[in-house]
Structure 1
Amino acid sequence: MTPGDNGASTPEDDDPFGYLYADGQARGAQPPSGSGGYGYPNAVSRVRPVGERTYGGQQQAPQAQYGGQTIPQQQPGAGYGQPPSAAYQAPETFPGGAPTSRQAPPNPGRGRGPNTKGLLIGAIAVVAAVVIGISVAMMNGNGDDNKASDQVSTSPTQSQSASPSPSSTSSASSSGDIAPVDAKALRLDGGATLASDVQGAQADGGIYVTNLNQTGAGVTWTVNGIPSDGLYTVFAHYSAVTDSTMTLKINGKEFGSKFPLDNYTHQSDPAKAWTTSYTYPTLTKGTNTISLSCESGDSCDILLDQLWVKQGKHTNKS
């Protein structure tokens, strides 16, 4: 077969594009028309709508089987209850048809997503609450420390000890009470010495005065700042395994009675015989000297570690 239109000898040789050639046009070839025919006059036309079949000269629509029932299929381009359309047209060509431009769908999650702003505010509030709580706790802790320091008592007790003083002097507090003075801060007289062999002394380092059991031996304590004239209590902390006495002198003058230093614990072991005794001398305002010495008629077999003064009349239990 040569290029160009040679005509159709059989329906299979019918050239549907003969109208494109000059010789085909001379023979009357036509382009496709609205009826669906094309080609030469009296040519065999096999064009039919998609899905259309003829059986015995009758046109039937395609059918489908669903659950044992035959359901007619709608022809392309036909609406519900309308005959099928012979030609399909795009929806854009009809008035009010589908839009020709593509539009972005609305955000389905807008307004329903997580409230990130609210979560952020909540997190900031939690952090701020924690910081405030820590600050308050620290302020309260400092306040408690200040209160504790303010509540420290300046009153002397039997367990407190004074710092060593080379001049053997002590000063009274505003209440007239003087904290205990240790043995090593006292002035030693008449062969009295310091020792620390026996356990139980309350003085710093467990140091006490010994060798007091001889005439002339003793200790002297200079007290400054007595607030006023009056009655005071002089305390002594010591160890004695036998009842003893010593001579008390205030400002060089002998007190009217001996200072009692008995074995109130009833112990024979010096380490377990530590106890307290006291008497009530009169002191004058300002500086006073207090001394305990072993004089004629005294029994001075004691170990002495502390002396202290309280204004007024007291006992060792007060």
Structure 2
Amino acid sequence: MTPGENGPSTPEDDDPFGYLYADGQARGAQPPSGGYGYPNSVSRVRTVGERQYGQQPPQYGQPAVPQQQGAPGRPNAYYQAPETLPGGTPPPGRPQTQPAPSRRGPNTKGLLIGAIAVVAAVVVGIGAAMLNGNDDKKKANQAGTPPTQSQSHAPSPSGSSSTAPGELPKTDASALQLGPGVTTASTTKGAQAKGGSYVTGFNQVGASVTWTVNGIPKSGKYSVYVGYSVPGKDATATLTVNGTASERPVGLNNWAHAAEGDYEKGWTKTYNWIQLNKGTNTIKLSCEQGNQCDALIDQMWLVNGWVNYSG
């Protein structure tokens, strides 16, 4: 080894363009033919797939371990086809692998039937709650404080009852006990009493008609009806049952909507809730101080219970 030389060329001293210089040619550099320009230079060219990542490269000066090849016709063990990579596509001519059939989805029909059943159960529950609420409200009303005796009510246009009015006594004007100044007449048409009779002269304080009722089957609640006519304006009277007067006046209203002064078109009826004893009772309709009693009276009758219909 001559002075200035460092011994044989090492890979880091290789110059791929050494054959272009005089000193490189003096060292035997030749144009490249697969490696670098120097003799015995280390070739870094590798066959595709030969390099294995994760392994130590061979030490300088040691021969590289040849790559173990697979069997003829079989791919190298370390080769990975591009179609196996995510998003890869197979080369032309190679059949594509059919994807595995997907699993069946949920049974939507069964879910729909279940949802309908739940909704139906909720609706039934709400209906039952509403029915129970109505029953409770009815019981509460029945258990509440009864209305004032002889409370007057307007007759409704129509109605029905389990008990027919004919089962209890009924009276006409001709059978009533008349008070001072009160008489019967039949000149005004429209009265429902026998012979078209009615009580007149009721429009004065102290006037009264009394009905003695016999044969009441049991003590309890009853409704008394009064047939009357007013001349196109409302009237009032006082109802007394077995000596006890009602706290509120009886409303003899112009339910027929008759014109003023027209008694013939003013015939109608009203009812009041009362309490009667078993056997005989007295019911009196009178014109007291503060009443407006311009009315004709033709009939009175009873029905069982406190009703809410015209009778």
Provide the TM-score with structure 1 as the length reference: 0.44
Higher strand share: 1
Higher RCO, 1 or 2 (CA under 8 Å, sep at least 6)? 2
Provide the TM-score with structure 2 as the length reference: 0.45
